[in-house]
Amino acid sequence: MGVVGAVTGAAIGFWLSFGERPAEVLLLVVGGTMAVGGLGATLTILASQFRMRSLTNGPTAGLTVGEKRMVQGAILSRASIALELKPAAVDQARVLAAILPLATAQSALLSCGLIGSQVIGLASTDSSSWFRIVLVAVLIVTGVIVFGVLRRNLDRVRRYLATLDIAAA
């Protein structure tokens, strides 16, 4: 879906910029590719995550909000946890190890889609171009921060699972 969206976005960008200056053609093609491809791929991942919702909520289904927080804290910070919550923590960590890469990809693709939609507007010569430049910069910084947080959490989940494997051996 993402590849089809990217090709479609590039074609739309090229069609909209037909006969324009090379810089405008480049901005419209890159922006169209990022916007349509990124948003299309994001929607595909979102649909798959929606179908996996019962799997992701399964390990902590019978727990209270406080117990869910304790499980999450134990996974991300390697804090001690009550013995009766340990199986839920192990199962939740396994689910997170599978889901966090999808969430990271979804976040990156969504950022590309949002940035691409603004890059298209940079091809115009209106007076609001400065706002689009600032918005693109803010979207890039936000995307990098979210990507970093998700990667850090994935590393923590993997370390938690590794300590369980070492302890089991």
Kindly state the average pLDDT of the residues 43-61.
77
Number of structural domains (the chain) is 1
- For the chain, percent of residues with pLDDT exceeding 70: 79
Q: Of 116, 82, 102, give the one whose Cα is nearest residue 13.
A: 116
Range of the domain at 140: 2-168
Q: Of 109, 136, 120, give the one whose Cα is nearest residue 44.
A: 109
In this prediction, residue 77 carries a pLDDT of 87
Average pLDDT, the chain: 79
Q: How far apart are CA 77 and CA 72, in angstroms?
A: 8
